[in-house]
């Protein structure tokens, strides 16, 4: 620091001497030019004696140490620029052949060859396997434009009979002409939506499947007379399985009467008990039911029960032991649907929900919409209670923005609370279809714990032949047979109640999956070209998310990068010093000639 201070003093004194000396001198070179030359000479001398640097961010030259990786979807303009400025490789065989760029054939060997080299990834991005191996590696991502067409599609892979199929999607339409997406069932249009031009627009399509078994629906995108995209929607429609239902009412009511009649039409086994007074009950049983509701309720009461429907007040009136028996049955997989009438919950399972009565009168009744975006007809309700859900609860029914039915997982079973208890009015108004859809939706989300069908989640969302597919199942740890071949299950690394298997499908189309002592189900393997835009968009999102999380894991390195500086070359200062000294020499030469 002392040396720097002394040099600064010396430079100031020298500059003052140059200014005064050039002021007294007479030359054809202007005075301002001579002073500037003197200042440049002093500055160049400073740069020669002391290293001067500038931030790396000021540099616009390409990073020669960075390796460009071109993936599928990389624009040709980006390839041309990157190839000229830096080294490049690609994971796409088409890019490799067209631009004569080295193709990465072994990802692990490639990373061993470039263990610390920063990567610049272009295109739709890398695969999950490749990203996992890049954890902690310096990487930048240059995302292309969104792919055209269906960039998102979600629908249930399995559906019980009489349940509507609801498909949620998103379509990217960059053209100046509006597009139309159409849902096809047996090659016939059943629903459609309009996509505005130059927009990425969400849509919802619905239909009611009429055929059991494996169904292959389609979603079509058209613009005028042109077909833009055609994708498959495989869905397995399961036949309705008769349930064993127990109903506990605080008092006889029309809601339970119509529910009992509807269950009997579906050939469900029903057992009904209504409290008449303290310690006195009325009972009714269907022919398919073998359950006894004699007091007190015990473990044998709910041993074969799939669904319990009860008033919260009746459940609270049960003894502590009976409530514990019911809770244990729910924990083992039985579904529980609670009617909450006055916003008060005091039973063992009812206390899981917070309900509050609304003082506003609903003279014109209320309308409801399900979480699946299904609207139901108006019901006359004089006073309405709503449910304040917590993060562990899932809303099922809404009135405007208020939740009137919600579900929560309890062990292996589900508990659903609902504040609407006069749905029978739809039946009286000859709206039996709405009544059936309403209760089918509630039953599907409540009585799911004891189903024998193997329910699964597949990864990736669109599996293809000869590529790894992971299936996560909530099923006991027993071997699963796929197309007759047994596969062992492994404990899921994150979810203790789930098991996982991995395999490589050999063909496209439907594949059977069988569980010992259980029913079989099916899953579908797509062609490589199916849902390509959605797969590309998902890869882009995964790539962007990975880069963001990866940068958070390396904060110190990011700060160091922001502090990186490049040193100004010495030859530049030497050149400036020669130019400035030449100007001063020429000016002094002119002065000497004038004096002589």
The end-to-end CA distance of the chain, in Å, is 46
pLDDT at 63: 47
Structure tokens at 27: 């030359």
In a domain, 62, yes or no: no
pLDDT at 249: 92
Task: Examine the pLDDT at 91 and tell me if it is beyond 70.
Answer: yes
36-40, 299-303, 420-424 — which is least confidently predicted?
Answer: 36-40
Residues 272 and 383 in one domain: yes
* pLDDT tens by residue, 258-303: 999 999 888 888 999 999 888 788 888 888 777 878 778 888 888 8
Give the C-alpha separation, 171 to 61, whole Å: 38
For 333, left (φ over 0), alpha (ψ -120 to 50), or beta? left
The bridge status of strand 485-487 relative to strand 480-482 is antiparallel
Mean residue pLDDT of the chain comes to 84
Q: What is the CATH number of the domain that holds 234?
A: 2.60.40.10
Confidence of residue 507 (pLDDT cuts 50, 70, 90): very high
Q: Which of 353, 355, 379, 352 is nearest to 366 (CA)?
A: 379
In a domain, 365, yes or no: yes
Summarize the confidence of residues 148-152 as an average pLDDT.
95
* pLDDT tens by residue, 102-126: 999 999 999 988 888 889 999 999 9
pLDDT at 552: 78
DSSP reduced 3-state for 420: coil
Residue 497 burial (CB count, 10 A): 12
Q: Among residues 179, 209, 239, which one ends one of the domains?
A: 239
Structure tokens at 199: 């927009």
Is the preceding omega at residue 460 within 30 degrees of 0, hence cis? Answer: yes
- By percentage, how much of the chain surpasses pLDDT 90? 37
Residues 262 and 370 in one domain: yes
Burial of 396 (0-12, 13-18, 19+ CB in 10 A): buried
Task: Examine the pLDDT at 341 and tell me if it is beyond 50.
Answer: yes
Residues 211 and 228 in one domain: yes
What Cα–Cα distance (Å) separates residue 344 from each residue in 34, 310, 356?
93, 14, 7
Confidence of residue 504 (pLDDT cuts 50, 70, 90): very high
Residues 282 and 367 in one domain: yes
Contact 513, 501 (CB under 8 A): no
In a domain, 59, yes or no: no
pLDDT at 197: 94
Summarize the confidence of residues 42-62 as an average pLDDT.
64
Residues 508 and 559 in one domain: no
Contact 438, 423 (CB under 8 A): yes
In a domain, 450, yes or no: no
Give the C-alpha separation, 407 to 442, whole Å: 9
Confidence of residue 330 (pLDDT cuts 50, 70, 90): very high
In a domain, 60, yes or no: no
In a domain, 122, yes or no: yes
In a domain, 423, yes or no: yes
In a domain, 57, yes or no: no
Summarize the confidence of residues 68-91 as an average pLDDT.
83
Residues near 83 by beta carbon (within 8 Å), at least 6 away in sequence: 68, 99, 101
Summarize the confidence of residues 440-458 as an average pLDDT.
76
Residues 391 and 256 in one domain: yes
Residues 425 and 349 in one domain: yes
Residues 317 and 418 in one domain: yes
Confidence of residue 60 (pLDDT cuts 50, 70, 90): very low
Give the C-alpha separation, 338 to 366, whole Å: 20
Contact 152, 534 (CB under 8 A): yes
pLDDT at 448: 72
pLDDT at 517: 58
Confidence of residue 586 (pLDDT cuts 50, 70, 90): confident
Total count of residues recorded for the chain: 596
Confidence of residue 58 (pLDDT cuts 50, 70, 90): very low
Contact 160, 440 (CB under 8 A): yes
> Could you give the strand order of the β-sheet that contains 490-491, starting from the edge strand earlier in sequence?
456-459, 469-473, 499-503, 490-491
Confidence of residue 510 (pLDDT cuts 50, 70, 90): very high
pLDDT at 72: 92
Look at the block and give the residue holding tokens 């006894």.
292
pLDDT at 450: 60
Sign of the CA dihedral with 262 first, then 267, 268, and 269 last = positive
Residues 558 and 573 in one domain: no
Summarize the confidence of residues 475-497 as an average pLDDT.
75
Summarize the confidence of residues 75-91 as an average pLDDT.
79
Contact 317, 250 (CB under 8 A): yes
Give the C-alpha separation, 297 to 313, whole Å: 16
Is the preceding omega at residue 16 within 30 degrees of 0, hence cis? Answer: no
Residues 545 and 482 in one domain: no
* pLDDT tens by residue, 210-245: 888 999 999 999 998 899 999 999 999 988 778 899
Task: Examine the pLDDT at 562 and tell me if it is beyond 50.
Answer: no
* pLDDT tens by residue, 309-318: 999 999 999 9
Structure tokens at 25: 């001198």
Q: Among residues 239, 272, 305, which one ends one of the domains?
A: 239
Residues 81 and 120 in one domain: yes
Give the C-alpha separation, 183 to 233, whole Å: 9
Counting the structural domains of the chain, the total is 5
> Could you give the strand order of the β-sheet that contains 480-482, starting from the edge strand earlier in sequence?
485-487, 480-482, 509-514, 520-525
Task: Examine the pLDDT at 558 and tell me if it is beyond 80.
Answer: no
* pLDDT tens by residue, 423-441: 999 999 999 889 988 998 8
Give the C-alpha separation, 256 to 448, whole Å: 21
Q: Which domain holds residue 582?
A: 2-52+568-595
Residue with more model confidence, 364 or 340: 340
Q: Among residues 220, 239, 258, which one ends one of the domains?
A: 239
Q: Which of 474, 317, 470 is nearest to 409 (CA)?
A: 474
Residues 314 and 396 in one domain: yes
What Cα–Cα distance (Å) separates residue 61 from each residue in 56, 85, 114, 243?
10, 9, 22, 71
């Amino acid at each position: 620091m002392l040396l720097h201070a002394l040099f600064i003093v010396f430079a100031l004194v020298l500059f003052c001497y140059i200014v005064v000396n050039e002021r007294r001198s007479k030359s054809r070179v202007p005075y301002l030019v001579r002073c500037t030359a003197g200042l440049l000479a002093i500055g160049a001398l400073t740069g020669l004696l002391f290293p001067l640097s500038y931030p790396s961010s000021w540099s616009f030259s390409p990073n020669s140490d960075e390796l460009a990786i071109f993936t599928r979807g990389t624009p040709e303009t980006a390839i041309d620029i990157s190839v000229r400025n830096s080294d490049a490789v690609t994971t796409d065989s088409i890019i490799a052949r067209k631009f004569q760029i080295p193709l990465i054939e072994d990802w692990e060997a490639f990373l061993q060859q470039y263990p610390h080299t920063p990567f610049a990834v272009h295109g739709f991005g890398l695969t999950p396997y490749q990203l996992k191996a890049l954890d902690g590696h310096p990487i930048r991502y240059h995302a292309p434009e969104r792919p055209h067409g269906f960039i998102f599609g979600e629908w249930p892979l399995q559906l019980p009979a009489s349940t509507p199929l609801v498909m949620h999607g998103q379509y990217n339409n960059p053209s100046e002409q509006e597009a139309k997406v159409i849902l096809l069932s047996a090659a016939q249009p059943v629903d459609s939506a309009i996509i505005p031009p130059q927009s990425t627009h969400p849509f919802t399509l619905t239909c009611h499947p009429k055929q059991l078994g494996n169904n292959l629906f389609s979603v079509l995108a058209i613009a005028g007379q042109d077909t833009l995209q055609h994708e498959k929607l495989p869905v397995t429609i399961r036949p309705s399985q008769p349930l064993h239902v127990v109903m506990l009412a605080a008092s006889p009511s029309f809601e339970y009467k119509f529910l009992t009649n509807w269950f009997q039409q579906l050939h469900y086994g029903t057992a009904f008990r209504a409290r008449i007074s303290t310690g006195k009950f009325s009972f009714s049983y269907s022919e398919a039911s073998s359950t006894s509701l004699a007091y007190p309720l015990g473990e044998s009461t709910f041993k074969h029960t799939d669904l319990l429907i009860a008033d919260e007040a009746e459940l609270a009136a049960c003894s502590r032991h009976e409530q514990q028996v019911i809770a244990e049955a729910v924990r083992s997989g039985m579904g529980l649907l609670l009617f909450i009438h006055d916003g008060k919950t005091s039973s063992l399972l009812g206390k899981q929900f917070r309900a509050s009565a609304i003082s506003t009168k609903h003279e014109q009744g209320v309308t409801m919409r399900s979480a699946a975006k299904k609207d139901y007809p108006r019901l006359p309700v004089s006073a309405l209670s709503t449910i304040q859900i917590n993060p562990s609860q899932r809303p099922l029914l809404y009135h405007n923005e208020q939740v009137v039915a919600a579900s929560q997982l309890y062990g292996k079973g589900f508990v659903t609370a609902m504040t609407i208890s006069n749905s029978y009015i739809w039946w009286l108004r000859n709206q039996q279809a709405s009544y059936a859809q309403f209760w089918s939706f509630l039953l599907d989300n409540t009585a799911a714990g004891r189903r024998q069908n193997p329910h699964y989640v597949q990864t990736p969302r669109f599996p293809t032949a000869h590529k790894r597919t992971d299936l996560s199942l909530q099923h006991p740890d027993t071997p699963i047979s796929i197309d007759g071949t047994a596969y062992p299950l492994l404990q899921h690394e994150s979810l203790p109640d789930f098991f996982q298997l991995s395999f490589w499908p050999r063909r496209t189309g439907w594949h059977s999956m069988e569980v010992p002592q259980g029913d079989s189900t099916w899953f579908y393997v797509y062609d490589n070209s199916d849902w390509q835009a959605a797969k590309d968009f998902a890869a882009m999102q995964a790539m962007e998310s990975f880069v963001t999380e990866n940068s958070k894991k390396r904060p110190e390195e990011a700060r160091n990068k922001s502090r990186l500086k490049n040193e100004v070359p010495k030859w530049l200062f030497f050149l400036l010093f020669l130019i400035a000294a030449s100007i001063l020499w020429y000016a002094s030469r002119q002065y000497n000639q004038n004096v002589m």
